[in-house]
């Protein structure tokens, strides 16, 4: 039987990471990679630099909440035939941005055991529909999620 499940990783208190440009992203980083300043945090991630800030409201997926989104992703995933035939299992971790219009942007694969698994996760997340964007000081803000999906074969 083909089986997979998704886990959701969201940083506590809806912290978003804002790049040095005008985009904001949400994520979770290791504590040893953070340098605290007044009300923001500078974060170092290999190849990228971000600053964090607190949003007033997190984005709301079209499925109602993040549990609904996780369940929707799980229900809409198909185990790729190639990965299934090769008995490939493991965790696909992607990041994606809910932009200020509520669209999904910048889906990035952070970890995958096989390209076909990553492509399937990206396909499903990209088709999730319009979200209500995050807000900061009453204005829409970009928001980044890190989302793992576990693929396993019974």
Question: In the structure, what pLDDT confidence band is assigned to residue 37 with cuts at 50, 70 and 90?
Answer: very low
Q: What is the mean pLDDT of residues 8-28?
A: 28
Res 15: pLDDT: 24
Question: In the structure, what pLDDT confidence band is assigned to residue 91 with cuts at 50, 70 and 90?
Answer: very high
C-alpha separations of 125 from 26, 27, 54, 75 in Å: 16, 17, 24, 12
Q: Would you list the DSSP string of 38-55?
A: SS-EEEEETTEEEEEEE-
- Is the model more confident about 99 or about 15? 99
pLDDT at 52 exceeding the cut of 80: no
pLDDT at 20 exceeding the cut of 80: no
The two three-digit tokens of residue 130, written as one number: 């319009």
* Average pLDDT along the chain: 76
């Amino acid at each position: 039987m083909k089986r997979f499940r998704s886990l959701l990783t969201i940083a506590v208190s809806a912290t978003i990471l804002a790049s040095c440009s005008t985009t904001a992203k949400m994520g979770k980083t290791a504590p040893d990679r953070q340098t605290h300043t007044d009300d923001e945090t500078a974060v170092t991630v290999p190849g990228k630099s971000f600053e964090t800030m607190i949003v007033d409201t997190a984005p709301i997926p079209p499925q109602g909440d993040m549990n609904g989104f996780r369940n929707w992703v799980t229900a809409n995933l198909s185990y790729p035939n190639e990965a299934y035939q090769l008995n490939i299992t493991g965790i696909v971790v992607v990041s994606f941005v809910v932009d200020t219009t509520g669209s999904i942007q910048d889906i990035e694969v952070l970890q995958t055991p096989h390209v076909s698994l990553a492509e399937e996760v990206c396909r499903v997340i990209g088709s999730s529909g319009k979200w209500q964007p995050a807000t900061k000081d009453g204005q829409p803000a970009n928001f980044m999620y890190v989302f793992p999906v576990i693929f396993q074969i019974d």
